[in-house]
Structure 1
Amino acid sequence: MSLALARRASAEFAGTALLVAAVVGSGIAATRLSPGDAGLQLLENAIATALALGALILTFGPVSGAHLNPVVSAVDWWLGRRAGTGLPARDLAAYTVAQAGGAISGAVLADLMFGVPAAAWSRTERSGGNLWLAEVVATAGLVVLIFALARSGRTSAAPAAVGAYIGAAYWFTSSTSFANPAVTIGRAVTDTFAGIAPASVPGFVAAQLIGGLVAVAALAAWYPGSGQAGDAVVVPHRIKEIEAR
């Protein structure tokens, strides 16, 4: 692995870790601050996650693009492979490993900060066709948003737009919008408000991957040539220039 790729992968690791720490940590705080009020707990969790996501994109975007999501990285590779933009296959593998490892580390970090067991399999079952459909919708919408912003030259809006979308999707999807395989894996190792039972993970991840495919089809119809903006996903990060240094 080159030094430049290691630098970008470390940013994906740290960014995904902090994202999951925000999701899990705010979930724990919500259950303690608002016991017995599930609606308020979800609101607190959603607001914290949306704000943290926007801040993390601003922090890590110039380094790695702040994908923080294997589906975003995979679509970036797929759409950019012919245009010579986006992630090469080697980088996709490095990003995916970094994101998954970061997600697990972030869940452990949040648990430690709140004095609960560092790692415990979640017992929260999340399974059923309605939840899987929700994950398809949530993931497809997220990916279309990200690539639409890049293709139309509006990446400066990405931190606010992506954070707003995820915050809203907490409420308009029955699954509360995981929309991210790495985050899903990380949330399996915390038996807290934001957890998901390991047995429920494969269904969610499969739905998220399908959502990515739906997004690719939608982008082909609505934003042809999206692959030309691969180096601007989620925000511009100039992969080729960094690798050349």
Structure 2
Amino acid sequence: MNEPVAAVECHGLTHRYGEHTVLDHLDLRIERGEAFGLLGPNGAGKTTTIRLLATLTPVQQGTVRVFGFPVGQRDTDIRYNLGYVPQQLSIEGALTGRQNVAWFARLLDVPRRERAARVDEALDAMDLLDVADRPAAAYSGGMVRRLELAQALVNRPALLILDEPTVGLDPIARDSVWARVARLRAEYGTTVLLTTHYMDEADVLCDRIALLHKGVLRAVGAPAELKAAIGPDATLEDVFRHHAGAALTDDNATEGGLTGVRNTRRTAQRAG
């Protein structure tokens, strides 16, 4: 019997920037419906992996398939099945929440006759309908992130990619974002791929975790399995330190609305 088609399959994925190898023969499989965490220190290759999966960066060596579609050959089919929330701010503060989501609906080629209903559906899923006609610049940090999720959901993606989705948010705003992602998985069976530096998030949210360090896959498995392999009282932070050999850093960021989120992400980008 043939093995079911996975949400994501990478074989021998290698990527270089000049002489620097960012990914070194990465083999990775993400099953449909999983919440999968991609962890590692800055510079580990997480964002490059995501950009390859999202068809934003061409594959140099190896193969990548998303729902069976090969990256580089069936990119349009992949994009129809994909929702992507990047680290970089992806909303326009001068537009209303509704206008931001409607803009993405056009970019993602949602049929014209369905756009208004899809926009409302995505805003409702993120509990933003009551503020949909306010300028996004007036949103709090948590609302900004939920608006970005609404943009990513407007095409009803089978795979939702979240690159550090709660950076810069306070604990209440973080919980709000994750509660809505959990609801999406429960209602629609959405596959979720996320990166985060918050080990508590990864521990609670992810069915399985892969840990990258210097472009090499160091460990993969369920959080409980990875912790048990380190020791009886190990935490996921212990697993991270064991495989990455690098200290975790606390973003020490607080929710400060649109400007605060933008500044936090700029700082993170400058830091690598």
| Common fold by TM > 0.5 | no
Report the TM-score when normalising by structure 1: 0.29
Structure exhibiting the larger radius of gyration computed from Cα positions: 2
Which structure: greater strand fraction? 2
- Structure with the higher fraction of residues in helix conformation: 1
Q: Which has the higher contact order (CA 8 A, sep 6+)?
A: 1
Give the structure-2-normalised TM-score: 0.27
